[in-house]
């Protein structure tokens, strides 16, 4: 059963002891607001130095770096879509973010990882639809990769937790 390897946690993602945390980055990978800014502040300036060498990241893609001063050994930076009303393939781009993060995790033998609710802050993606996509992709990755031990979905606010709880309840495979 995949769902017993999915955990919802009310927390600040920068404080977690997991092998990798996921960053909801922007195309430049040079830092920004929200969770991106928090991760860069907590990891220290060496993260920005490594990110500069990556030359950005396309929407729906992901790149991995070290975690520097974070407890997490790695940061997986992914660029979610900006919500434009739902007619710009936002759902496909968001699903792609999760898929690429899981691919990078498996390639790097990462067994425990934590995600923020990608695109649901400044980028404006509706929280419930985003949670359904996140849970669907997490279940698929856990089923395909038995070596993945734990996926934490970080709930930074109450609406995000409710959205994940609903997705876990109703989005049964
Ligand atoms: P995006 O631009 O992809 O929408 P944001 O950083 O604005 O990214 O928001 C993504 C999600 O991360 C939102 O649910 C927001 O509440 C949450 N968030 C912001 N700061 C943190 C943090 N320190 N830890 C975990 N989640 C956070």
Q: Where are the domains of the chain?
A: 2-170
Active-site option among 3, 10, 12, 36: 36
Contact 154 CB / ligand 1 (< 6 Å): yes
Contact 117 CB / ligand 1 (< 6 Å): yes
Q: Where are the beta strands (DSSP E) in 5-141?
A: 6-9, 20-25, 62-66, 74-79, 112-115
What letter would DSSP give residue 81?
Answer: P
Let me know: does 77 contact 113? Beta carbons within 8 Å.
Answer: no
Helix axes 90-107, 127-144, angle to 10 degrees: 30
Q: How does pLDDT run across 117-127, given as a tens digit for each residue?
A: 999 999 999 99
Q: Which atom of ligand 1 is nearest to the CA of 26?
A: 2
- Which of 156, 162, 163 to mutate to test ligand 1, by most ligand atoms within 8 A of the CB atom? 156
Q: How does pLDDT run across 130-145, given as a tens digit for each residue?
A: 999 999 999 999 999 9
Distance in Å, CA 148 to ligand 1 centroid:
24
Report the C-alpha gap between 28 and 88 in whole angstroms. Answer: 21
Q: Which tokens go with 166?
A: 């609903």
Whether the model pTM is above 0.95: yes
Segments in the chain below pLDDT 70: 171-173
Query: Which residues have a Cβ under 8 Å from the Cβ of 87 and sit 6 or more positions away?
Result: none
Let me know if 12 is a catalytic residue: no
Let me know: does 158 contact 18? Beta carbons within 8 Å.
Answer: no
- Measured by CA distance, the residue closest to atom 27 of ligand 1 is 35
Q: Which tokens go with 155?
A: 């709930």
Report how far Cα 114 is from the mean position of its chain's Cα atoms: 7
Q: Supply the CATH classification number for the domain 2-170.
A: 3.40.220.10
Please, how many CA atoms are within 13 Å of residue 134, restricted to the half-sphere of its CB? 32
């Amino acid at each position: 059963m995949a769902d017993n390897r999915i955990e919802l946690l009310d927390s600040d993602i920068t404080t977690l002891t997991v092998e990798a945390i996921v960053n909801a980055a922007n195309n430049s990978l040079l830092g920004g607001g929200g969770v991106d800014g928090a991760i860069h502040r907590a990891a220290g300036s060496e993260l920005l130095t490594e990110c500069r060498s990556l030359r950005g990241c396309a929407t729906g893609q992901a790149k991995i770096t070290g975690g520097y001063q974070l407890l997490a050994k790695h940061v997986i930076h992914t660029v979610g879509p900006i919500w434009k009303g739902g007619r710009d393939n936002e759902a496909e781009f968001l699903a792609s973010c999760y898929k690429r993060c899981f691919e990078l995790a498996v390639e790097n033998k990462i067994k425990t990882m934590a995600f923020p609710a990608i695109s649901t802050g400044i980028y404006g993606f509706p929280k419930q639809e985003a949670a359904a996509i996140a849970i669907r992709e997490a279940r698929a990755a856990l089923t395909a990769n038995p070596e993945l031990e734990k996926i934490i979905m970080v709930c930074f606010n109450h609406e995000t937790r409710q959205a994940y709880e609903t997705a876990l309840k109703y989005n049964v495979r």
